[in-house]
Amino acid sequence: MEKVSIIEVSPRDGLQNDPVFIPTVKKSKLIYLLAEAGINHIEASSFVHPMKVPQMADAEEVIKSCAVLNDIEITALIPNVKGFERATKFPINEVNWVTAATETFNQRNIGISIEDNFKEFTKLKDKIDQTKMKMCFSIAVSFGCPYEGNVNPDVVLKLVERAVEAGADRIGIADTIGIADPEQTFRLLSRVLEVTGKTPVAIHLHDTRGLGLTNAYAAFNAGVRIFETSASGIGGCPFAPGAAGNLATEDLVYMFNRMSIDTGINFERLLEAADYAASLSSKTPLGRIRQVVRKKII
């Protein structure tokens, strides 16, 4: 049976943009429910400055609470070297370094140029190699930018190539504003996979225009086997005006279940986690299949 891996991002990307601070204990409960559903890779928080993303001000406490989870890979997003230094004090398996495919978004999101950001990444990779952590190199706005519009795929591919050469353990391709279409997704991911070799590639999809699931299917057909999703479809980027939530984990799992593709996730337990995720968010969840099941729609 064909298998795929799902990285759950609701505790970080799903909650980061919520204007109402969510208590640490509730964030931790969400992580535990996701783990109980069989999700074995969770992006739990982000070591960003609390002034920039107040929702992530309790990153240390959230990550500490993950220490009781056995056999669960915990990822934390880091925007810079200082974030990495904070992360090394806690039980983390992977750090997620983020750059952008456009200069304007990189400046708004991180505050430096793409080139300076990459130099920081290469310096940090040497430090990472002295730890047991892995490092993902994620590229935001890979399909389109809220400030610069269309993105040249060659820019994304060059960043991927450089990151692989620098030793990234995983590559993340993100449709941060949910602008991609299936044909565009298939073309870009096919080219990305040609240059990554054995380095794993994940796709991170937002569902702003309702094409998240079709883009996931297009990425699967291109050869992608790792998907970053959010329970109940909550989420959004503070630096991408108007961007909606992520592709809902339960929608993707439902599709793969129908296709007899193994996710390793218990669908009923996942729905419980998605219910809880939806209850934490002050925004309307984007996930569809959860509502179909809960309302008993035929």
Would you name the residues annotated as active-site residues? 237
**Cβ atoms of residues 262 and 239 within 8 Å:** no
**Angle made by CA atoms 239, 50, 278, in degrees to the nearest 5:** 65
Backbone angles phi, psi at 42, to 5 degrees: -130, 130
Contacts of 99 (CB under 8 A, 6+ apart): 106, 110, 114, 117, 118, 121, 137, 138, 139, 140, 159
Cβ atoms within 10 Å of 275's Cβ, excluding its own = 17
Contacts of 69 (CB under 8 A, 6+ apart): 31, 32, 35
Residue 17 to residue 255: CA distance in whole angstroms: 27
Residue 55 to residue 130: CA distance in whole angstroms: 30
Residue 52 to residue 259: CA distance in whole angstroms: 41
Residue 184: which H helix or E strand, with range? helix 182-196
**Cβ atoms of residues 253 and 267 within 8 Å:** yes
